[in-house]
Amino acid sequence: MSDIEIAPVYSYIFPGQGTQKVGMGRTLYDVSPAARTVFAEADDSLGMPLSRLIFEGPSADLQDTAHAQPAIMAVSIAIWRAWQEFLGPAAPQPAAVAGHSLGEYTSMVVGGVMDFGDGIRLVRERGRLMHEAGEARPGSMAAIIGLDEHTVGQVALDSGVELANINSDDQIVVSGDKIALARAMDLALARGAKKVVPLAVSGAFHSRLMRLAQDGLSHAIDDIKLHDPEFPVIANSTGAPIVNAAQAREELLTGLCNCVLWKHSVQFMVGSGVNRFVEFGPARVLSSLVRRIDAGVGALTLSDPDSIRKAAADRN
């Protein structure tokens, strides 16, 4: 009996903060008119030479949350538009889009919830507000490797931190003030974690310590036009589709304090028929997580002209 080929059903996924690096997107800028247009639009929308900072640094400035977030969005959108430019009408329509934390904003641009100019201004403001909140209520984050969600949840209850990112079955990030976080890391190791990794972040993201940023972000969101999604955008907070502009607004606002349910989002998409995940970003972060969540689906990262050409050739 011959094998039956299963038609690919695509999801486009977009990374969050932490994937930034000086020089990302430069080779696309050099060869793709569509990518160059994105970087020019980013510079114009922000009234600053963001593209020069992305391509030339200095690295310390690029790591600043207020710069890193729009930089990652700009690069992800440039890769996505270069992919569309390269494939033309053959570019697959995604069955769903999703992004991790900051990447959720990028997914909403791709999903038609907001335009790119509004989106990049919004994420710069989001980054600025998150940095200010981190200074007002200091905290940090740590990844716990090798414990399941239930066990890490108990560690959080016992230490006073919060679940921030459920990335896969055995990679979960917690967030909170530094004393509680140190307690959580000790408890996780005592309860069998393979390792704990403090994250180089400027605050306790996706926790109640971001409430100040959430309050400020509400005004910024009110200043832009949001639309109903053109196709399903999977929400970080629920792992389920956003179906209208009102839900999109609520998700953008509450996502600063809510846990990122990445594992649940991927599982929802796979359960809905998605079997190919394409990450648009400068590093293989989300595609690696997808493979850990479900080894039976395909996942690749597009980051430069060579990866786009290879992915296009593999489709033929």
161-216 pLDDT per residue, tens: 999 999 999 999 999 999 999 999 999 999 999 999 999 898 999 999 999 999 89
- Does 1 map to a domain? no
- Does 69 map to a domain? yes
Same domain, 19 and 124: yes
Q: Cis check for the bond before 232: say yes or no (omega within 30 of 0).
A: no
Same domain, 80 and 118: yes
What does the pLDDT read at residue 2? 41
- Does 112 map to a domain? yes
- Does 146 map to a domain? yes
Structural domain that includes position 187? 139-198
Q: Distances in Å between the alpha carbon of 307 and those of 17, 79, 217, 299, 302?
A: 21, 10, 35, 13, 5
Same domain, 146 and 251: no
What is the domain-level CATH number for residue 160? 3.30.70.250
Same domain, 261 and 129: yes
Active-site residues, by number, are 101, 206
What does the pLDDT read at residue 76? 98
Q: How many domains does the chain have?
A: 2
- Does 232 map to a domain? yes
What is the domain-level CATH number for residue 122? 3.40.366.10
What does the pLDDT read at residue 313? 81
End-of-domain residue from the set 176, 198, 220: 198
- Does 4 map to a domain? no
Same domain, 73 and 211: yes
Same domain, 70 and 117: yes
User: How do the pLDDT tens digits run along the chain, 316 residues long?
Assistant: 345 556 789 999 999 998 899 999 999 999 999 999 999 999 999 999 999 999 999 999 999 999 999 999 999 999 999 999 999 988 999 999 999 999 999 999 999 999 999 999 999 999 999 999 999 999 999 999 999 999 999 999 999 999 999 999 999 999 999 999 999 999 999 999 999 999 989 899 999 999 999 989 999 999 999 999 999 999 999 999 999 999 999 999 999 999 999 999 999 999 999 999 999 999 999 999 999 999 999 999 999 999 999 988 877 5
pTM above 0.75, yes or no: yes
Same domain, 216 and 261: yes
Same domain, 89 and 176: no
Same domain, 118 and 75: yes
- Does 3 map to a domain? no
- Does 5 map to a domain? no
Same domain, 252 and 122: yes
What does the pLDDT read at residue 1? 37
What tokens appear for 234 in the block? Answer: 């999977």
Same domain, 126 and 152: no
Same domain, 26 and 175: no
End-of-domain residue from the set 198, 219, 240: 198
Q: What's the chain's length in residues? A: 316
End-of-domain residue from the set 156, 175, 198: 198
What does the pLDDT read at residue 316? 58
